Structure 1
Amino acid sequence: MILFLCLIVFITILFFKKQTTGKNSYTFASPPRLPLIGNLHQLGQHPHRSLCYLSHRYGPLMLLHFGSVPVIVASTAEAARDILKTHDAVFASRPRSKIFEKLLYNSRNMASAPYGEYWRQMKSVSVIHLLSNKMVGSYRQVRQEEIGLMMEKIRESGSSPMNLTKILSCLTNDVICRVALGRKYGVGTDFKEMIDRLMRQLGTYTVGSFVPWLGWIDWISGLEARLEKTANDFDKLLERIVQDHEDGDGNKADFVDVLLAVQRENSVGFEIDRSSIKAIILDAFVGGTDTSSTLVEWEMTELLGHPECMKRLQDEVRTICKGKSSVSEDDVKDMKYLKAVVKETLRLHPPVPLMVPHQSRDDVKLRDNYVPAGTQVVVNLWAIGREAATWGPDENAFRPERHLDSSADFRGQDFELIPFGAGRRMCPGISFAVVLNEVVLANLVHGFDWQSTEDQTDVAESIGSVIRRMDPLYVIASSTTVLD
């Protein structure tokens, strides 16, 4: 026993010695840390909240240590601007992560790939053939048909409580499948569980990623096995999708067909293997299904908790679409309050509240602080959306009106509202997400009056990289006289 305690003391002394070595490299304010784990114990179940509270004491750019890894956390609009605009090129890369390696084909997808030629080419292929404004416009018929099916499903529920969370997840999944994969895939009810599991695990902090010599703890805790199961489950699905396209007649050129053609023709100048194809397809699922349905879910949650906002939105939509049985994408263009509701929800509930970590490629001076190459940086979008200096004393209140006279947009130029990120690593699917979100929300409030089955004023958040409601949203929908 004495020998064991001596060993622990020895390891602790070595660890503190390592921490103090080169301590002058960073001069950011930093909360005290524990041996071995650093500040990991301060993250809690909802790191976006914990980091926000820490920033109130330690400043908009603070230094934490996740195990032995230094991490700078940006928590204000100006701090985000310094990283994502002023020094965008320096912080454009991604750190290596056991989670990314296991779940995202060793970071071969666009979101987690290191900055470089591979990432540039994969982004170019995705934008040109799936996410450009031209391509997004071409999916209009798909969106219209799937929204129509969703509305019919809601009508069939009558006055019975329905799981709106499940309905919205099915909608976004079906839209993504049709536009990216060419058809709906009968992935069954297990697909929702798979997506939830993936998102939860993507938000996990592994011991091995931050304290490499303690990586065996991830195996003992069962995390390695859970990651392996999720990776295998998705790989089986993605392999079936790719094989279906290889066996097809080739008459329809959807996104998967484009990726296979790029592979055959070697048109990007280097070889793309099958894992890369599956990783990019997974990007479409991860970036397009859960985040899109989560946003509508939070919009409806806030509107149900603020009946006056719901009524104002319904009045706007029903006035513009008077006499129509549904809302078109052309109608949505004139709905100012609808757009304000979307902005306010993105401010309070960014689907991914902590941006995917960035990593510095070179040494850089950040606000007179020296930052060595290889430093990780996390931008807390949740904290930025609740910054009192920007949004006023009611920063935690849902008040869409604050956006009616504001020119701030969420397309990466106004750093007080960057739910899709900014700079080189900004989410390229913003146009795809916004047009679907606006027309879905408009149709929901146009076609039905809504009643919640529970209080919507204090809703628990889920755990993971995408923060949705902890519990599904159950509602009762009543058809309006507009449709009678």
Structure 2
Amino acid sequence: MGSPVAVRSYRFVSLRCTHSISNKKSGTSDQIETINHGKHKTIDDLPGPSLATTVYWLFVKGYADKSHAMQIEHKRLYGPIWRSQFGPFDIVNVASPELIAQVIQQEGRYPVRTELPHWKEYRDLRCQAYGLHVDKGSEWYRVRSALNPMMLNLQEVSTYAPIIHQVVGDLLQRIEGLRLLSQDHALVPDLTAELYKFGFEGISSILFETRLGCLREEIPEDTLRFIAAANTMLTLSETVLFFPRWSRRVLPFWKHFVQAWDDLYDVARHLIDRKVEQISAQVAAGKPVEGMYLTHLLSCDKLTLPEVYISITELLLGGVDTTSNTLSWTLYHLAGDSTAQDRLYREVTSVCPGRQLPTSDDLTRMPYLKAVIKETLRLYPVVSGNGRLAVENDVVVDDFWFPKKTQFHLCHYATSHDEKQFVDAERFAPERWLRGEPAGFQHHPYSSIPFGVGVRACVGKRVAELEMYFALSRLLQHYEILPEKGAQPVEPKTRTLMIPSKPINLCFLPRA
């Protein structure tokens, strides 16, 4: 299972002795000519809400957990580019695909998403490696280059299919057990929570090369600790960022944020150390060492062990919510749209009759399956917006000049809900992604980029897609999915990531 990775003993011993953290250097030696900005407008010419107005929107009008919706309102008020200020943050918001493309095309060799000073502070507090979200410049690029090959190469990712199918099989058993426990033998309550366990089990099986038991009746204590810590950290991340540092002596947010990261890191380190011991014992016994992603990272001589610790932890964090939330919204919409569900069922059964397990090659013959996931991600991008910090050169966007250190906010939610890009944009319509259909392919390529784009795109994109394709196709093979009788609509909310604002309850009826 997976691509075997042979580990030479001298390489592994060398790795174990290299626990020091590399010096953190950012930027590039490239000298980029400063733009002549005399003829351009500047950030001071941008429209936008005042600090008082922003506070009003967040805490009086109730947009504190609806920042995605606030993008649309601000775009309506101020146009596709505006300025917002909150505490120490001075941000240029960009909310059209054309302007997002302009920012991306000028981001330089080593783009920076956004400053995460609270994440960096935690890493420094615990003397940890920085990882993808904190490191910059050539150091970031070095780490990213080590993580990419077995995450983004389609041929390599396809080798994870057997382990993903094992986890999907456990999910099917879990769904069956839950529906049989319900009074009507159909309802599965809080589906997102179950899919979160599936997402965690799936990505951890690939990253740690071991099953953690997330879909069992009794979940192991460490697994529950990691899941709880992930929720706490993501919930508090924005809060900690916006409150001034002096408040940490008075308010509990920072303490809980640090404890959450401690739990995340501790669980991941324990699992990685266990793998290190296994490999060490095999090498000492003269046995060949084979494995998948973690074995590859531990044997490639490109990352120190502290860098492996933090990289695996961050990959795990990013992989769980992407899969669980997207599948939740997908099933929610399919349950309410029998036409779309029937079309998808027919496609899956025509390619894989008799509940045959789909392969990576089979997926190439399921365009509607991929369109369904694309449409869900358009409606509910995992993160409603992405950051870009101009670090290498000045930037010109829509006749505005911005100097280095300008923080851009790429408003993906507002862009992917723009009626100019997507007719009837609030409607779930997978066919808009299919060539040859009336509504298909009429949009700008940057109108919906839920995984990002370029060298800063999501490193786990291919794995997340494979998990979602396999899970969705097999769920449709086994069940017709219907909404809960009398259920009210479920809206999204923002908790760093976009999540359902309340539990999604769906009925699963076995197919003949």
Band the TM-score falls in, shorter-chain normalisation: 0.7 to 0.9
More off after superposition, 89-98 vs 38-47: 38-47
SS at match of 1:72: strand
Residue 82 of structure 1 deviates from its aligned partner by 0.9
Residue 38 of structure 1 deviates from its aligned partner by 11
C-alpha offsets along residues 324-380 of structure 1, whole Å, 9 cap, x if unaligned? 354444333222222221111111011111224544433222222121211111111
Aligned length: 443
1:226 is matched by which residue type in structure 2?
A: H
Aligned equivalents of 1:63, 1:205: Cα separation in 2: 22
Determine the structure 2 residue equivalent to 1:6: none
Q: 1:97 pairs with 89, 99, 116, which one?
A: 116
Aligned equivalents of 1:256, 1:321: Cα separation in 2: 32
The residue correspondences of 1:82-481 to structure 2 (distance < 5 A) are: 82-85=102-105, 87-89=106-108, 92-101=111-120, 108=129, 110-157=131-178, 158=180, 159-163=185-189, 164-185=191-212, 186=220, 187-204=222-239, 206-208=241-243, 214-248=244-278, 249-250=281-282, 251-262=289-300, 265=301, 267=302, 272=304, 274=306, 276-392=307-423, 394-405=424-435, 408=441, 414-453=445-484, 458-481=489-512
Q: 1:65 pairs with 85, 89, 95, which one?
A: 85
Aligned equivalents of 1:376, 1:29: Cα separation in 2: 16
Residue 145 of structure 1 deviates from its aligned partner by 1.7
Shift in alpha-carbon separation, 1:48–1:105, aligned structure 2, 3 A: farther
1:72 is matched by which residue type in structure 2?
A: V
1:156 is matched by which residue type in structure 2?
A: G
Residue 245 of structure 1 deviates from its aligned partner by 2.1
1:434 is matched by which residue type in structure 2?
A: E
SS at match of 2:506: strand
Aligned equivalents of 2:274, 2:121: Cα separation in 1: 24
2:118 is matched by which residue type in structure 1?
A: I
C-alpha offsets along residues 273-316 of structure 1, whole Å, 9 cap, x if unaligned? 62x22210112211211211111111001111222222222232
How well do the aligned residues superpose, as a CA RMSD in angstroms? 3.0
2:469 is matched by which residue type in structure 1?
A: E
Aligned equivalents of 1:237, 1:88: Cα separation in 2: 35
Aligned equivalents of 2:395, 2:401: Cα separation in 1: 6
Residue 421 of structure 1 deviates from its aligned partner by 0.8
8 Å contact from structure 2 (residues 115, 389) kept in 1: no
Q: 1:75 pairs with 95, 114, 117, which one?
A: 95
2:255 is matched by which residue type in structure 1?
A: A
Aligned equivalents of 1:202, 1:389: Cα separation in 2: 33
SS at match of 2:425: coil
Determine the structure 2 residue equivalent to 1:31: 49
Shift in alpha-carbon separation, 1:421–1:45, aligned structure 2, 3 A: same
Shift in alpha-carbon separation, 1:193–1:169, aligned structure 2, 3 A: same
Shift in alpha-carbon separation, 1:216–1:160, aligned structure 2, 3 A: same
Shift in alpha-carbon separation, 1:32–1:247, aligned structure 2, 3 A: same
More off after superposition, 66-75 vs 397-406: 397-406
Residue 234 of structure 1 deviates from its aligned partner by 1.1
**Structure 1: which 5+ runs fail to align?**
1-22, 209-213
Question: Is 1:54 equivalent to 2:78 in the alignment?
Answer: no
8 Å contact from structure 2 (residues 369, 473) kept in 1: yes
More off after superposition, 114-123 vs 316-325: 316-325
8 Å contact from structure 1 (residues 38, 66) kept in 2: no
Aligned equivalents of 1:457, 1:422: Cα separation in 2: 35
C-alpha offsets along residues 86-130 of structure 1, whole Å, 9 cap, x if unaligned? x13188124433332256678955542343111111111111244
2:491 is matched by which residue type in structure 1?
A: A
8 Å contact from structure 1 (residues 37, 68) kept in 2: no
SS at match of 1:361: coil
Q: Identity across aligned pairs (percent)? A: 19
**Structure 2: which 5+ runs fail to align?**
1-40, 213-219, 283-288
TM-score by length of 2: 0.78
SS at match of 1:259: helix
1:319 is matched by which residue type in structure 2?
A: S
More off after superposition, 288-297 vs 157-166: 157-166
TM-score by length of 1: 0.83
8 Å contact from structure 1 (residues 304, 456) kept in 2: no
1:123 is matched by which residue type in structure 2?
A: R
Aligned equivalents of 1:457, 1:338: Cα separation in 2: 26
8 Å contact from structure 2 (residues 172, 475) kept in 1: yes
